[in-house]
Structure 1
């Protein structure tokens, strides 16, 4: 790794080695009264109030607000943590019926093993050319493990898709990826959006004629360039807490036309295909 001066090293450490200081977004239901009617009820006995799912964003923020103080830690030396297990069957009912059929309650509950607190710190609607409802999210969790005496902060991100059912918007799919805090600072160009665009769409695809300065709006990056094919391109990235940029959308526009969502796959479309003769 190339040498850096002291100022570069300080900024490097701030970018990759420091956890998020963003405020939590899931701060609804901070009083115990909200959870009281659901106490001791199984997931199939719960009916969500209609106001919790009136809009897609309400559904997501309320879902994570319910989960904020949910805990599934096997080692608890200090007694009850937060709302204990009560929030899990409530949160499960934010899923669509079709998604419940794919993910059982037991599987859902076990997916929170080791987690004692959840903060939603980033939420951004992903542009979708099919007019679907899709959001990027990032969470900060406090996690505890059997063989450790202390808890640790963990960070994860993913995408949430929603559909409208007769009683409001429901989660129809949810992905989750844990963040790594060592690969980004020590290895690879593919953690940085500008490098990803320059190498994948420039060096590999020979598509870039003129690259414009990056436009940043908080943790969202918009990277524009004019292509050798005469079209303009916009790539949207979201910066995670670990400093990695995740590409979430690609747009292409020809002259005066509107921006259109595209899906260029450089690894498949621009790199030489590996020979299978010797396989």
Structure 2
């Protein structure tokens, strides 16, 4: 039995070690495109408005431009991709307000160590407060300065957009690097079902009955009947490293439509749970 359990655990943990096999989404521009902007600083670049026509156009064009951007600090084999040329172009996808907060030099430095970028996930995220919001995940080829070997890195985040006279521009972009060792060795908080049971069940005492998870590709839809009589619906996305990230929460009382909510268990429930546990 012990041997069988070890085999089962090993099989489960493989999802944390395997790289992504998803196709790249950022394939809109070819090599000859970059020659139009060679040697131009960001404030002398003017981009066509059709690149910003829809939020999806803005983001796919933005990541396509960055596909062959390189900030590795030099390689003995010569030029990598389109070298530094894409960065001033991509900087023009940021809104005016975002550029005031993030200088071009700071923007460029944020890509330190990256030699190639593949966008592997991109989708709209419901967000009633912050307007247009998208989730993304990307696969990068990265390297350490002074070392010849490169490696694959994975990161994800959320992007907010605003509409300016040129079209949709990026008003904020977050980035979180994925870890491939903590998930298989530590904790329940990498798994969507476990997160719901612990945070919303044990901490918040909100779960009366939890239903089987509905899976759609890399999405998980987790439903449960609440102790308050309402139905709850949580959406998670599974990253390349196997970790589930919460995307949205919804609640529905009888004869009502689904309404987006924002329960924060760490702030609203954990302290109360710890007090009860200690008493």
Which structure is higher in helix share?
A: 2
Question: After TM superposition, which residue ranges in structure 1, 4 or more long, deviate above 6 angstroms?
Answer: none
The equivalent residue for 1:49 is 48
Q: TM-score, normalised by structure 2?
A: 0.94
| Residue pair 2:42, 2:92 contacting (<8 A) in 1 also | yes
| Residue pair 1:129, 1:260 contacting (<8 A) in 2 also | no
Which whole-Å CA distance do the structure 2 matches of 1:133 and 1:256 have between them?
28
Structure 1 counterpart SS, 2:271: coil
The equivalent residue for 1:72 is 71
In the superposition, relative to structure 1, how do residues 4 and 16 fare at CA in structure 2: closer, same or farther (>3 Å)? farther
Kindly report the root-mean-square deviation, in angstroms, between the aligned alpha carbons of the 2 structures. Answer: 1.6
Alignment pair present for 1:16 and 2:54: no
Structure 2 counterpart SS, 1:173: strand
Which whole-Å CA distance do the structure 1 matches of 2:18 and 2:149 have between them?
19
Return the offset for 1:270. Answer: 1.4
Which whole-Å CA distance do the structure 2 matches of 1:63 and 1:242 have between them?
24
Return the offset for 1:6. Answer: 5.9
The equivalent residue for 2:132 is 133
Q: How many residues align?
A: 273
The equivalent residue for 2:105 is 106
The equivalent residue for 2:84 is 85
Unaligned runs of 5+ in 1: none
| Residue pair 1:75, 1:145 contacting (<8 A) in 2 also | no
Which whole-Å CA distance do the structure 1 matches of 2:23 and 2:15 have between them?
17
Which whole-Å CA distance do the structure 2 matches of 1:4 and 1:258 have between them?
46
Which whole-Å CA distance do the structure 2 matches of 1:22 and 1:10 have between them?
23
Alignment pair present for 1:163 and 2:162: yes
